[in-house]
Structure 1
Amino acid sequence: MKNILVIAMALITLQGIAQEKRALANRMDRPHRMSDLSPEQAATLKTKKMTLHLDLTTKQQDEIYKLNLENAKARKEMMANLKAKREHGELKKPTQEQRYKMMNARLDHQIDEKAKMKTILNSEQFIKWENHQKKMQQQGRKMKRHMAHKPSEAPKNRK
């Protein structure tokens, strides 16, 4: 009887670990699915999601679509450049000065985007948008930690 319980517990534990790894793999695939879209499609989807989340007016939707389209085009171009460098073997680890410039440019872009969103959204929508941005940033950090660990050493989700 004890042996059956031990075997059952072992099977349940293995099944739980397998499901956790599968869920992590599914989350890792999401960015690749979005990268297959054109900038216009990505901007449209993001704008519609924001409309549902923030209850945007049609004027706000148009302005945010333009902003999202601009960002999507820049992101697509950057990814194409990285892919071309990777294929040609020119992709190298950036120097400290290059990393500083990239981080500085990214922060300038975030400041600029925040200022634009502040002019487009009303105060209630802006607070909601900011909270969502913070949540997404935390999820990004969590994913980065998962990526840094080997799959066999990935920390378990604690609740």
Structure 2
Amino acid sequence: MKKLFIAALLFVGMVSFAQDAAQPVKQQRERLTPEQRNEKHLKKLTTELNLDTNQQAQVAKLLADRSAKAQKHMEMRKARKDSSIKPTAEEKAALKKEIMDEKTATEAQMKSILNAEQYKKWTAMRDENKEKMKDKMKERKNKL
């Protein structure tokens, strides 16, 4: 879900920059494949949390599963968008519940993989990233 949210933000940002030709063109980021993103995320978690090889393998599997689910959600969204059928309130609620269930399942799996200190660090990192995203959203909103 977080990746979808980031992708949506990037899309909105690119569209807004495309409208204003007076602003200097930003250098485009290299597009990473899901496997490359997972590997990059795993490396970051390994260095930040000091994961051992067993934990790395478990976290890599978890990241791959999350990535596959996110890809599935993106494809579903794209299919709905292409067909111009708006989801009903019930469908939106069901999707939101499914995403929240996946989030709690991921948290439970991370808690079982990491020790107490690592889990505490991981939650702090996650919360910090949430705050950064909120700040970026406010900045983008103020620019528009």
Instruction: Give the structure-1-normalised TM-score.
Output: 0.64
Paired residue for 2:107, among 114, 118, 121?
114
Equivalent residues, number: 121
Selected match of 1:41 from 25, 36, 39? 36
Give the Å deviation of 1:89: 4.3
> Which amino acid in the other structure matches residue 52 of structure 2?
T
In structure 2, stretches of 5+ residues that fail to align are: 1-22
Cα distance between partner residues in 2 of 1:38 and 1:77: 15
Q: TM-score, normalised by structure 2?
A: 0.69
Root-mean-square deviation (CA), in Å?
A: 2.6
For residue 50 of structure 1, the aligned residue among 34, 45, 56 is 45
User: Quick one: distance in 2 between partners of 1:118 and 1:143?
Assistant: 28
1:129-148 equivalences in 2 (<5 Å) = 129-147=122-140
Which has the higher Rg, Structure 1 or Structure 2?
1
Using the alignment, how far apart are the partners of 2:117 and 2:38 within structure 1?
Answer: 23
Choose which of 73, 79, 85 in structure 1 pairs with 2:80.
85
Unaligned runs of at least 5 residues, structure 1: 1-20, 153-159
Aligned to 2:7: none
Q: Which amino acid aligns with 2:132?
A: Q
State the match for 1:102 in structure 2: 95
